[in-house]
Structure 1
């Protein structure tokens, strides 16, 4: 890409950089507590492994490396996520610049990602592995399109890096390069790019990147896939025909949930021009249509032959992230005028860039008025600070990974174990006292030591259930005297 072309789109990236810096600031200002995926990263950063469970380890490896240099903190978590998101938008914009001549459409395609709820809201709210999928897909898609349009050793290398990262991010990423390969092979003009000798570099690079995890996966296949398959195939006692109907229905709803708002925004911005554009075609629209078709067929195979009954919209990220670019390619193929549409589109972007951070903050801060509390309202840090006034724990056993990750953030030098994850078992010999902490659900949850914690103590330490206590700590943004209750116990473990 020439320097002039880069200047044409530079303002988009400056705007996005400012937006993601704002998101970091809002996250730090909202709450010190961690949500599910954030807590998972903090908890599992205590050790480095070739695999951790149902999700491949790319994000864990990346976050582990950052924690080694920057320490375990909410800031480190937020910076990593938003840097990945910014880089993804950057690569998406560069890809759009390769295939779109109209600079206004390049901007609309890139900023159009902000109209996808999964991308703009859910990825900021908590997701981590899905962010890694988007990042990897953006790398691969840029390398793939560049290999078709401006083939070079570097373009095939980039595509290989994207595939390697993607397969380490989520296993369902595999459908994206497969769909791209099939879609390109179907076009005689693009076929030579697939049979290019440089494609071997793509394959080798991808294999080298995923090799350590492949060795782990070979011995842990059930552990890695059982939970995902359980979620996907959960159809109760439904008949086969009902399961297929449930699967197809969930796929349709997920597609609408994922792309419906984007299509609606484009319809408002472009009006009748969008309807006319759907009849227009180009080499690039044809390629993307075939990719999306292969993707949908692949999911239908999972539904019909794999028993999938529930398709979630976030699982569609590896493919449907191309929707804004696809719509812009359609509009350009129709030769539509874009200046007026661009002027209508930018206020929508402004509303989203202001509204999403405000909604993320407001959903937590509004608890002082509504009494409805999110996980980020829970006062983990305050609770731990109060317990450390009683004694300084040498190790902590938490009731679940959410609690373990939150505790790990505020006491990074102490091993924090979780009952629900047996894969981390440091030597606790001589570590005393051991602090046990668990969550007591609101509205009358049991205050007793959870059975699985008592079982863990007996099986790992040969210790009986200790005397337990409770501590009530005010919520962050709490209403009146509302508080969250934690159960805890101390064990002076023999050396």
Structure 2
């Protein structure tokens, strides 16, 4: 082996630990406000449930547990996300080291995850449940590969953990173990690993983990799946052939969006040697190809028979996260020299590791120059601080979960109810004063109390609609006198 290929991978894991620590610091420095998925976690941490709605509860359970020890905060949200991401990269690297002889390629495969926009950018920007899917996929894949290469009770148990976590992260995760099962069964040399009694341990571990949610799902199937199915099948009343065409084209665009940058980076790093390498085969590349084929066929069946018309690139995470490892297995099978490629690869990764945190911070901080405001520019904390000087709320009714989660972060001891999540119904009858808050994104819009909030007050508390007020609060990183407008009202404020 070359000097580069014999390097230990520990420095890769140290580098990744430093990177995710940087991402943690950048998130805290960017804004105190929460984005959509972050706010959802803060809002739903008020109660523990076997299910919360269209997304399974793995991430909610994990974040709820952390909040019990740390309190609700942006730091706790960011710690959970970055620890999950670091653990995912670590497991991916360990899997790569199991099946790649060349340590340089194992390092490229691991860091190659940073060339996938969904992994490196979108997961940092706001996603939570997709992060949980990625983590679960790496747990399962590590257990699966170990069970094929070095079978043991622990390897089959790890695969079961990954399946259990994954099914509690997103329902579409199920296609990954299904694809792995079909792909292994198709290879006579791997088939004995599937017909191994230890596979019952995999199934048992997965069942135990998912059982509480399965009982909930039995009685709440429509509630859990309606919103996702609505998103997938939205086709503006198109004809069946047009819906299928829309679904297939959206799948193609999603694959390009997911894998395009990674393909470009590998082509840049390995040059002319990449194309012939992609034509080579090995036992592992054939296995991964069968897995990806089963995955794509599964989505096509969903398009043709399930009416799916819009496939999102983040939905491909449970399968296509294996792409960097797949490319490296191809390159190793072709016997490509890796020293020069490794040296070309590191500057690309350095640019990504510096550029992504800079873009995440800059997209919010440059609003003072551009006048373009993100959700993280909204001054929720400043607004609440002003209103608490009028009165200390005993409870809050918020217009939506984004607002509710942001308010919950800054007043964690007070119940916060959201209009878009009616399933959370704490008793507010004796809690006064009650603060009502809603967003008015654009000046000139209706500033009156929203009709839905007035109806909620009448139905749940028997209270008539109070007089509404507005408050203009300067944006974080605002330009000049730019402000964001909130509507608010009090029920029984103190004199």
TM-score (norm 2): 0.98
SS of equivalent to 1:271: helix
CA offset at residue 429 of structure 1?
2.7
CA contact (8 A) 2:391 2:493 kept: no
Distance 2:308 2:451 in 1: 33
Q: Which residue of 2 aligns with 1:371?
A: 371
Q: Indicate the larger mover: 289-298 or 416-425.
A: 416-425
1:360 equivalent in alignment to 2:368: no
CA offset at residue 492 of structure 1?
1.5
CA offset at residue 7 of structure 1?
7.8
| Unmatched segments (≥5 aa) in structure 1 | none
CA contact (8 A) 1:160 1:203 kept: yes
Distance 1:406 1:320 in 2: 33
CA offset at residue 444 of structure 1?
2.3
Distance 1:456 1:10 in 2: 56
1:450 equivalent in alignment to 2:446: no
1:285 equivalent in alignment to 2:306: no
Distance 1:162 1:394 in 2: 42
Distance 2:446 2:101 in 1: 63
CA offset at residue 278 of structure 1?
1.1
Q: Which residue of 2 aligns with 1:388?
A: 388
Q: Which residue of 1 aligns with 2:109?
A: 109
CA offset at residue 443 of structure 1?
4.2
CA offset at residue 14 of structure 1?
0.1
Instruction: Please give the residue correspondences for 1:64-75 in structure 2 after superposition, counting only pairs within 5 Å.
Output: 64-75=64-75
Q: Which residue of 1 aligns with 2:225?
A: 225
CA offset at residue 404 of structure 1?
0.1
Instruction: Please give the residue correspondences for 1:300-449 in structure 2 after superposition, counting only pairs within 5 Å.
Output: 300-449=300-449
Instruction: Please give the residue correspondences for 1:68-147 in structure 2 after superposition, counting only pairs within 5 Å.
Output: 68-147=68-147
SS of equivalent to 1:439: strand
Q: 1:255 to 1:377 in 2, by over 3 A?
A: same
CA offset at residue 168 of structure 1?
0.1
Distance 2:114 2:405 in 1: 29
Distance 2:158 2:349 in 1: 30
Distance 1:446 1:98 in 2: 61
Distance 1:334 1:272 in 2: 13
CA contact (8 A) 1:378 1:484 kept: yes
CA contact (8 A) 2:6 2:104 kept: no
CA offset at residue 42 of structure 1?
0.1
CA contact (8 A) 1:430 1:493 kept: no
Q: Which residue of 1 aligns with 2:294?
A: 294
CA offset at residue 430 of structure 1?
1.7
1:156 equivalent in alignment to 2:156: yes
Q: Which residue of 2 aligns with 1:43?
A: 43
SS of equivalent to 2:479: coil
1:33 equivalent in alignment to 2:27: no
CA contact (8 A) 2:6 2:103 kept: no
Instruction: Please give the residue correspondences for 1:227-242 in structure 2 after superposition, counting only pairs within 5 Å.
Output: 227-242=227-242
Distance 1:191 1:444 in 2: 66
Distance 1:6 1:383 in 2: 56
Q: Which residue of 2 aligns with 1:266?
A: 266
Distance 1:429 1:260 in 2: 55
Distance 2:340 2:176 in 1: 34
CA contact (8 A) 1:157 1:201 kept: yes
Q: Deviations over 1:345-381 (max 9, x none)?
A: 0000000000000000000001000000000000000
SS of equivalent to 1:362: helix
Distance 1:168 1:348 in 2: 35
Q: Deviations over 1:131-163 (max 9, x none)?
A: 000000000000000000000000000000000
SS of equivalent to 2:8: helix
CA offset at residue 423 of structure 1?
1.1
Q: Which residue of 1 aligns with 2:185?
A: 185
Q: Which residue of 1 aligns with 2:249?
A: 249
CA contact (8 A) 1:93 1:109 kept: yes
CA offset at residue 237 of structure 1?
1.5
Q: Deviations over 1:15-43 (max 9, x none)?
A: 00000000000000000000000000000
CA offset at residue 95 of structure 1?
0.2
Q: Deviations over 1:316-349 (max 9, x none)?
A: 0000000000000000000000000000000000
SS of equivalent to 2:336: coil
Distance 1:84 1:57 in 2: 15
SS of equivalent to 1:308: coil
Distance 1:444 1:6 in 2: 65
SS of equivalent to 1:164: helix
SS of equivalent to 1:169: coil
Distance 2:493 2:141 in 1: 54
CA contact (8 A) 2:168 2:210 kept: yes
CA contact (8 A) 2:159 2:202 kept: yes
Distance 1:258 1:105 in 2: 21
SS of equivalent to 1:438: strand
Q: Tell me which stretches of 4 or more aligned residues in structure 1 moved more than 2 Å.
A: none
SS of equivalent to 2:335: coil
